[in-house]
């Protein structure tokens, strides 16, 4: 899965959690909490959706350090391309 | 046999539009089964039936506005499936006592047609609605003998609120057609007679304006009727944070817990102990609830607020509670909340979340008597032993009804929550 496909998958899950977010103008570097008004349950739901869809179980401590979709995509790329690391 | 009436949906919703029947005459239903969907000013809600039986007749067609208290269907043993309502009305004629009961003053019309600010009697436990549903209160068009008799006596059947409104606006009740039980004129019937007032009801879903109006009504009533007192307490979350980190470390995201679950559980346990904060205040005073149905104010993306309840929250394990929190938030935003959840809360928690503020003082959601506010958990300097440490802490507040209890009890309650959060493993 390349980065674009990965991004589409993540944004699709995100729009399931927050349907009002405009995906066309979505800013990957914007803070999900501050810019897109996601609360702790929304972000947890996103992690759960990513786990279900991509099979990547992001540990709580790693996840707590991610604040925008770009950071999430970086992490997912790394985990999917180098499963051992 | 009994009429199933439109149950209370909470303090800020006194009517709704029946948008979908999920059963048909002849269907067997079980207590708790969803039989209809009702669109209110706040959300589309699922309506559950309160008894086992067979749906014998549906009184109300889809896309009909119904007030709380309006008979919706007849539930019986199945022997009268398909029998029309004139059968019911005909039966009434042989029972003069029931006919008396059908006068506007005795039927739910009186309670339901009032504005939310003054209708205290229909708001509350679905059990109350259930109790009323046992009474035969047959719906009758204005032409039924009872209504006709009343009209001939010069008194048009109408709810007190409708009567008052008619007086104020100069509308003649006799020229209107009543849509309430027994053909009584209810407040809603007067709206059509006021061409200056635009109909703001949307075709589907709910809009912000209606949501605002509903919140305004409930909160105005709260501030008008309830003498609130307010208390706040800062709670050290060091133990809770450590326990939560350990717990979540080995859990996949879908099984992880949030601090909210710990707050809700601690609050529910404290409410079970301090019953003066858990219950409903009605015309006859305060009644403590026997269960802890903990409401949770859910902010809706795009604006608005609903406060559905988690039933028996004090008896749930943390994972169960977390699951219910997920479920409730999902349904609050996506639809599928149940009427019992909207009206059944015995106290409510409000939390403004991670991006919120340090301290939130709530406004009590009538007829409840307590609102617990959870501020933003963040690191701050706290005195620990002889020094100062940067500790995760949260301000937990209480807004309580002074008619029911005093600040001393409220303080004990907040201290109980604090103590419970120091032993998260025991929650």
Q: Which of B173, B191, B209 is the last residue of a domain?
A: B191
Q: Total domain count for chain B?
A: 2
Alpha-carbon separation of residue B340 from B34, B67, B327, B346, B395 (angstroms): 11, 16, 15, 12, 30
**What residues contact residue B150 under an 8 Å CB cut-off, 6+ apart?**
B103, B104, B156, B157
Q: Is the pLDDT of residue B128 over 50?
A: no
**CATH code, B345:** 3.30.559.10
- State the pLDDT at residue A51: 94
For B190-239, the pLDDT digits (tens) are: 776 643 333 333 323 456 788 888 889 889 999 999 999 999 999 999 99
- State the pLDDT at residue B142: 39
- State the pLDDT at residue B70: 86
Which residue has better confidence, B163 or A73?
A73
Q: Quick one: B291 and B142 in the same domain?
A: no
Q: Confirm whether B216 is domain-assigned.
A: no
- State the pLDDT at residue B120: 35
Q: Quick one: B254 and B172 in the same domain?
A: no
Which residue has better confidence, B1 or B272?
B272
For B289-348, the pLDDT digits (tens) are: 999 999 999 888 777 788 999 999 999 999 999 999 999 988 887 778 888 888 889 999
Q: Confirm whether B202 is domain-assigned.
A: no
C-alpha B98/C-alpha B351 separation (Å) is 48
Facing A44 at nearest CB: one of B253, B302, B355:
B253
Contact B329 A41 (CB under 8 A): yes
Q: Confirm whether B186 is domain-assigned.
A: yes
C-alpha B387/C-alpha B20 separation (Å) is 63
Q: Quick one: B76 and B186 in the same domain?
A: yes
DSSP for A9-48 reads HHHHHHHHH-TTS-STT--TTS-HHHHH---HHHHHHHHH
Q: Confirm whether B406 is domain-assigned.
A: yes
Q: Confirm whether B211 is domain-assigned.
A: no
Query: What are the chain A neighbours of B325 within 8 Å (beta carbons)?
Result: 41
Query: What are the chain A neighbours of B329 within 8 Å (beta carbons)?
Result: 41
Q: Quick one: B277 and B393 in the same domain?
A: yes
Which residue has better confidence, B96 or B387?
B387
- State the pLDDT at residue B132: 38
- Here the tokens at position B415 are 């201290």
Q: Total domain count for chain A?
A: 1
Q: Is the pLDDT of residue A26 over 80?
A: yes
- State the pLDDT at residue B146: 41
Domain of residue B268, residue span: 226-426
Q: Is the pLDDT of residue B155 over 90?
A: no
Q: Does B213 touch chain A (CB under 8 A)?
A: no
Q: How far is A7 from chain B (nearest CA, A)?
A: 19
Q: Quick one: B103 and B187 in the same domain?
A: yes
Q: Quick one: B105 and B184 in the same domain?
A: yes
Q: Quick one: B254 and B139 in the same domain?
A: no
| Lowest-pLDDT choice from B119-128, B364-373, B378-387, B399-408 | B119-128
Query: What are the chain A neighbours of B302 within 8 Å (beta carbons)?
Result: 20
Which residue has better confidence, A20 or B128?
A20
Contact B353 A39 (CB under 8 A): yes
**CATH code, A24:** 1.10.1200.10
**Mutation choice for B interface testing from A44, A46, A64, A65 by most B CBs within 10 A:** A44
Q: Is the pLDDT of residue B112 over 50?
A: no
For B67-89, the pLDDT digits (tens) are: 888 888 888 888 888 766 534 43
**CATH code, B28:** 2.40.50.100
Q: Confirm whether B201 is domain-assigned.
A: no
Contact B253 A39 (CB under 8 A): no
Q: Does B302 touch chain A (CB under 8 A)?
A: yes
Q: Give the percent of chain B with pLDDT over 90.
A: 42
**Look-up: residue for tokens 């102990």?**
B273
Facing A59 at nearest CB: one of B249, B299, B353:
B249
Q: Is the pLDDT of residue B267 over 90?
A: yes
Mean pLDDT of the B390-400 span: 97
Contact A37 B301 (CB under 8 A): yes
Q: Confirm whether B205 is domain-assigned.
A: no
Q: Tell me A55's DSSP state.
A: -
**What residues contact residue B87 under an 8 Å CB cut-off, 6+ apart?**
B80
Which residue has better confidence, B111 or B367?
B367
Q: Is the pLDDT of residue A55 over 80?
A: yes
- State the pLDDT at residue B117: 34
Q: Is the dihedral of CA B98, B100, B104, B107 positive or negative?
A: negative
Domain of residue A11, residue span: 3-81
Facing A60 at nearest CB: one of B254, B256, B301:
B256
Mean pLDDT of the B150-164 span: 60
Q: State the ipTM, two decimals.
A: 0.87
Which ranges of B250-317 would DSSP assign to H, the alpha helix? 259-273
Query: What are the chain A neighbours of B301 within 8 Å (beta carbons)?
Result: 18-20, 37
Facing B258 at nearest CB: one of A37, A44, A58:
A44
Q: CB of B287 within 8 A of CB of B309?
A: no
C-alpha A32/C-alpha A39 separation (Å) is 9
Q: Does B251 touch chain A (CB under 8 A)?
A: yes
- State the pLDDT at residue B352: 84
Q: Confirm whether B214 is domain-assigned.
A: no
């Amino acid at each position: 899965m390349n980065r674009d496909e990965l991004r589409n998958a993540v944004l699709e899950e995100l729009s399931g959690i927050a349907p009002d977010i405009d995906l066309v103008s979505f800013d990957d570097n914007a803070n999900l909490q501050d810019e897109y008004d996601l609360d702790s349950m929304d972000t947890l739901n996103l992690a759960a959706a990513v786990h279900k869809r991509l099979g990547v179980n992001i540990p709580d401590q790693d996840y707590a350090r991610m604040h925008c979709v770009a950071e999430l995509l970086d992490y997912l790329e790394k985990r999917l391309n180098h499963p051992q690391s | 046999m009994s009429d199933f009436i439109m149950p209370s949906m909470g303090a800020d919703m006194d009517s709704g539009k029946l948008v979908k029947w999920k059963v048909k005459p002849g269907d067997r239903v079980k207590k708790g089964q969803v039989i209809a969907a009702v669109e209110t000013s706040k959300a589309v809600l699922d309506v559950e039936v309160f008894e086992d039986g067979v749906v014998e007749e549906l009184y109300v067609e889809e896309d009909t506005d119904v007030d709380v208290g309006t008979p919706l269907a007849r539930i019986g043993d199945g022997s009268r499936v398909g029998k029309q309502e004139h059968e019911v009305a005909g039966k009434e004629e042989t029972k003069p006592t029931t006919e008396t009961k059908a006068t506007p003053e005795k039927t739910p019309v009186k309670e339901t047609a009032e504005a939310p600010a003054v209708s205290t009697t229909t708001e509350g436990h679905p059990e109350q609605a259930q109790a009323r549903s046992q009474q035969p209160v047959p719906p009758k068009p204005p032409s039924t003998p009872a209504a006709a008799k009343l009209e001939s006596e010069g008194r048009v059947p109408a709810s007190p609120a409708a009567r008052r409104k008619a007086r104020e606006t100069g509308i003649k009740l006799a020229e209107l057609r009543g849509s309430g039980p027994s053909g009584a004129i209810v407040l809603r019937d007067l709206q059509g007679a006021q061409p200056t007032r635009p109909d703001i009801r949307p075709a589907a879903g709910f809009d912000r304006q209606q949501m605002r109006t509903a919140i305004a009504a409930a909160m105005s009533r709260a501030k008008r009727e309830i003498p609130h007192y307010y208390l706040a307490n800062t709670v050290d979350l060091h133990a809770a944070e450590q326990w939560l980190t350990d717990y979540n470390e080995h859990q996949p995201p879908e099984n992880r817990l949030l601090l909210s679950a710990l707050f809700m559980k601690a609050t529910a346990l404290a409410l079970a102990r301090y019953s003066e904060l858990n219950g409903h205040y009605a015309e006859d005073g305060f009644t403590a609830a026997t269960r802890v149905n903990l409401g949770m104010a859910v902010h809706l993306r795009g604006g608005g607020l609903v406060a559905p309840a988690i039933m028996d929250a004090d008896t749930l394990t943390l994972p169960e509670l977390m699951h219910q929190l997920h479920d409730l938030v999902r349904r609050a935003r996506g639809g599928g909340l149940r009427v019992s959840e909207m009206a059944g809360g015995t106290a409510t928690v409000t939390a403004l979340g991670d991006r919120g503020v340090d301290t939130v003082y709530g406004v009590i959601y009538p007829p409840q008597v307590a609102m617990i506010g959870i501020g933003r958990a963040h690191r701050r300097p706290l005195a620990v032993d002889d020094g100062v440490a940067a500790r995760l802490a949260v301000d937990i507040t209480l807004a309580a009804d002074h008619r029911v209890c005093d600040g001393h009890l409220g303080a004990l309650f907040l201290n109980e929550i604090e103590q419970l959060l120091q032993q998260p493993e025991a929650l």
